[in-house]
Amino acid sequence: METRDVVILGSGPAGLTAAVYTARADLRPLVIEGEPSSTSDQPGGQLMLTTEVENFPGFPDGVQGPELMEAIRGQAKRFGADLVTTRATRVDLASWPFRVWTAQGGDAEPAVETKALIVATGAQSLMLGLPNEGRLLGYGVSTCATCDGFFFRDQDIAVVGGGDSAVEEALFLTKFARTVTIIHRRDALRASKIMQDRAFANDRVKMRWNAVVEDVIGDNKVTGVRVRDTTDGSEEVLPVTGLFVAIGHEPNSSLFTGQLDLDAAGYIQTAGSSATNVAGVFACGDVQDHVYRQAITAAGSGCMAAIDVERWLDHRAHAG
Ligand code: NAP
């Protein structure tokens, strides 16, 4: 079995930026990319599910999410990163070098051993599971107000959820949209009091209480949202052109349960930089960040993890 200096799990902006940096440091990284999602033909994280990205520095006219990921992928390869399209199924961080099993390599033997590991497995937005939600993702359905709010100037849109994320997204969206309807399945928000007060004080925010979204409507882009009232069962179509799903996120960290320190919500805990509780294991991107969740912050933290790995390997080599 091959022993690598560094293996990177994940191929979003964090993982691939870590790949660019570790490749340029001559560490010949192996990127275990993950597998394509149901709506894209390549792995590459959440940006593969996005259309236009307008806030990644360096692209004054915007760039398509998948195009951006393909460019970073090409950049990583150019400097010698090896990429394999499979998913890590198990890791052993208790002994060193660390061992990683993959779907492609099977259960019997680890696919690779590595001196350092960068975990960049990301997070996923929880989705409602509506019939047309996946098809219209990027075409009016969004999971990121910061990314997509700009496209809804002077439009009537909706946010589903009742927590701090939903209220925060709704308030942010009022900068662009004419009205933002928060659709919540109960008659009280879960969000903190201060956020609730801000929402209720904003005359662009409307509340649709006791309502569940049954489906999102539209051929090529969203034209409405069908909601069902939970008190009397009646249905109506809200004529909105955008639906922001803000019902929570889930970090892709189950592989590390019991081996890395996770917080209560499952995010990998990092101390100071990208270091985890296991020396030689570093984490970057959305799997350890529930605050910023941006492509550029993920990329930045991927760079940090790569530099941390380089220094850690160097230190270890000199320590004998
Ligand atoms: P959250 O607090 O878990 O809220 C999720 C919301 O989505 C809840 O209102 C829940 O309804 C609703 N929901 C869940 N599944 C649903 C479904 N299938 N259909 C319809 N609605 C559904 O998640 P979050 O808002 O992402 O916040 C996560 C954590 O980050 C929280 O601790 C939050 O305080 C924190 N946060 C803080 C800030 C801030 O301080 N500025 C901003 C964002 C997040 P129910 O209420 O009925 O359960």
The tally of CA atoms less than 13 A away on the side-chain side of residue 205 is 26
Is the bond preceding residue 251 a cis peptide, omega within 30 degrees? no
- Residue 313 CA to ligand 1 centre (angstroms): 40
Mean per-residue pLDDT of the chain: 94
Of the chain, the percentage scoring pLDDT greater than 70 comes to 97
Comparing 76-80, 84-88, 269-273, 296-300, the range with the smallest average pLDDT is: 269-273
- Residue 202 CA to ligand 1 centre (angstroms): 20
Of the chain, the percentage scoring pLDDT greater than 90 comes to 86
Q: Give all domains of the chain, ordered by start, each with its CATH number.
A: 3-125+249-319 (3.50.50.60), 141-245 (3.50.50.60)
Which protein residue has the closest C-alpha to ligand 1 atom 11? 162
CA distances from 226 to 51, 126, 242, 246 (A): 24, 19, 12, 17
165-222 per-position pLDDT tens digit: 899 999 999 999 999 999 999 999 999 999 999 999 999 999 999 999 999 999 999 9
* Chain mean position to CA 246: 13
State the pLDDT at residue 47.
82
Q: How far from each other are the two terminal CA atoms of the chain, in whole angstroms?
A: 23
7-61 per-position pLDDT tens digit: 999 999 999 999 999 999 999 999 999 987 655 566 777 787 666 788 899 999 9
What is the average per-residue pLDDT within 307-316?
A: 97
What is the average per-residue pLDDT within 62-68?
A: 90
Say yes or no: CB of residue 164 within 6 Å of ligand 1.
Answer: yes
252-269 per-position pLDDT tens digit: 999 999 999 999 999 999
* Residues 71/15, Cβ–Cβ less than 8 Å: no
Q: At what angle do helices 13-24 and 295-319 cross, to 10 degrees?
A: 40
Say yes or no: CB of residue 74 within 6 Å of ligand 1.
Answer: no
Chain position carrying tokens 């090409």: 74
* 11 token code pair: 């191929």
Whether 284 sits among the annotated catalytic residues: the reply is: no
